[in-house]
Amino acid sequence: MKLSQYFVPTLREDPSDAQIISHRLMLRAGMIYQTCNGIYTWLPLGLRVLSKVEKIVAEEQDNAGCCRVLMPTIQPAKLWQESGRYDDYGKEMLRIRDRHDREMLYGPTHEEVITDVMRQFLKSYKQLPLNIYQISWKFRDEIRPRFGVMRGREFLMKDGYSFDVTKEDAVVAYKKVVLSYLKTFQRMGLKAIPISANSGAIGGNLSHEFHIMADTGESEVFYDCEYDTLHSDRIKFEDIERIYSAADEKHDASTCPVPAERLKVARGIEVGHVFHFGTKYSRSMGLSVIGSNGEPFYPEMGSYGIGVSRLVAAIIEANHDKNGIIWPTSVAPFLIGIMTTNWQDAQMAARAEELYHEMLKRGVDVLYDDRDERAGVKFADMDLVGIPYQIVVGAKSAEGMFEWKDRRTDERVYLTSEEVLNRVDKETEFLAK
Ligand code: ATP
Ligand code: MG
């Protein structure tokens, strides 16, 4: 992509209404625009990151054996009246009437819709286990939308639903999702800690939230400091059962088994939430299936959420410095940035153009800043939008040398164009793994 033909409306000044760093940086980097309170337009750069996050989430769901579907955003109230949640859900639900005066709603979650689908198609225990997921926009009329896409009213969620014959099978499904979530977040350069939670409004008996620790997190969480020493790769479900953690509403100082010196009290950003809730929906909505003994039974269900749009903000909270965003390469809008130190120098421009085309040929996400702008402006913008590797075509390019800058370490080295392309190949190979 050439920046002169692209649309990245960056801001020099900090927007006054943004309280946390990720919100400020998303606005300043031209990633999002607030259309109205808690409702955002994703601009090109923001959309590229959102799509990469979505892709990682989908890949790990697929790896865990889940099947992707797409349910409607608008739902009939009738389904929620059947499950008994229509009146309880309260003002967070956006209620709508269609032209025939039928009650509809913009889905805040999809337990009812998927249970309705499954009662149509599930007939026999032989069709189980199943885990069905989608990635779609939700609407919740949050009382206090804030912090940009961190707590929006319209937001992108991965929601999944499992169906099993027995409680034991359902717990197996639950554990599989928990481990796949750790992998998902790790692929985005995030360490998420599973926090044992009450399952709240959805009801049930097994629940974990996944938190990214950050001072700006909205939740207070409690956990044994052993989690800080464990790499996400190595966390097993036995560890999660063994090592203490608790969400605010669950923690009780008088019964906490962890000695004070080992107990971490921290702020967390909730990026995922999983529940096992048994037969609540299958029973209330009449999803019954014939078992191996010929008798009908209600399948055991669980639901599993990831805040896809919230993750974009959480990644920034965990990856930035005074100059801007530092994207982990797996979710960077562009892996490579190219610029010249003097936009009026035709030879520099020709060399930059050549590198740019080499990278396009390789299918690399590359952003070439070809604008008629001072070098200082270009350096600042590349750092602000967080391009992981930046190639500066300057005076030394006449001798075939290009500056390679690492955004995270600020390390700079001079490389030949061949060395530059070798590094790019190595990076893309690593990303493909
Ligand atoms: P919260 O406590 O933050 O309101 P929740 O418990 O209501 O979250 P769930 O119903 O479990 O959330 O939804 C699954 C995931 O969707 C959450 O873990 C979170 O990452 C994300 N999410 C929930 N509400 C919002 C929102 N208003 N804006 C952005 N993401 C959200
Ligand atoms: Mg909520």
Residue 21 in any domain: the answer is yes
Residue 393 in any domain: the answer is yes
Asked which of 321, 355, 386 is the last residue of a domain, the reply is: 321
Residue 24 CA to ligand 2 centre (angstroms): 22
349 and 396 belong to one structural domain: yes
CATH number of the domain residue 355 falls in: 3.40.50.800
What's the pLDDT tens digit per position in 268-305? Answer: 999 999 999 999 999 999 999 999 999 999 999 999 99
In DSSP notation, 34-73 reads EEETTEEEEPHHHHHHHHHHHHHHHHHHHHTT-EE----S
Residue 308 CA to ligand 1 centre (angstroms): 10
Count how many domains the chain has. Answer: 2
The upper half-sphere exposure of residue 326, i.e. CA atoms within 13 Å in the direction of its Cβ, equals 15
Run means of pLDDT, 10 residues per run, the chain, 433 residues: 97 90 98 98 98 98 98 98 96 98 98 98 98 98 97 98 97 97 97 84 73 96 95 90 93 92 97 95 98 98 98 98 98 98 97 98 97 97 98 97 98 98 95 86
109 and 202 belong to one structural domain: yes
Cβ-Cβ contacts under 8 Å for 175 (sequence gap 6 or more): 237
CATH number of the domain residue 232 falls in: 3.30.930.10
61 and 86 belong to one structural domain: yes
Asked which of 321, 344, 369 is the last residue of a domain, the reply is: 321
- Rounded Cα distance, 363 and 427, in Å: 12
403 and 309 belong to one structural domain: no
pLDDT at 203: 45
- Rounded Cα distance, 77 and 87, in Å: 10
Residue 326 in any domain: the answer is no
Q: Which helix (H) or strand (E) holds 196?
A: strand 192-196
18 and 40 belong to one structural domain: yes
153 and 283 belong to one structural domain: yes
229 and 265 belong to one structural domain: yes
46 and 71 belong to one structural domain: yes
CB 155 near ligand 1, within 6 Å? yes
Closest C-alpha to 156, from 140, 175, 137, 129: 137
Residue 328 in any domain: the answer is no
- Rounded Cα distance, 277 and 170, in Å: 10
pLDDT at 199: 52
Take residue 109 and report the two structure tokens written for it. Answer: 């979650």
348 and 228 belong to one structural domain: no
Peptide bond into 76 cis (omega under 30): no
220 and 338 belong to one structural domain: no
Asked which of 256, 287, 321 is the last residue of a domain, the reply is: 321
Residue 359 in any domain: the answer is yes
CB atoms within 10 A of CB 412: 11
Domain that holds residue 426: 334-432
Nearest CA to ligand 1 atom 6: 273
Residue 327 in any domain: the answer is no
Residue 57 CA to ligand 2 centre (angstroms): 20
Instruction: Assess contact for 330 and 187: CB atoms under 8 A.
Output: yes
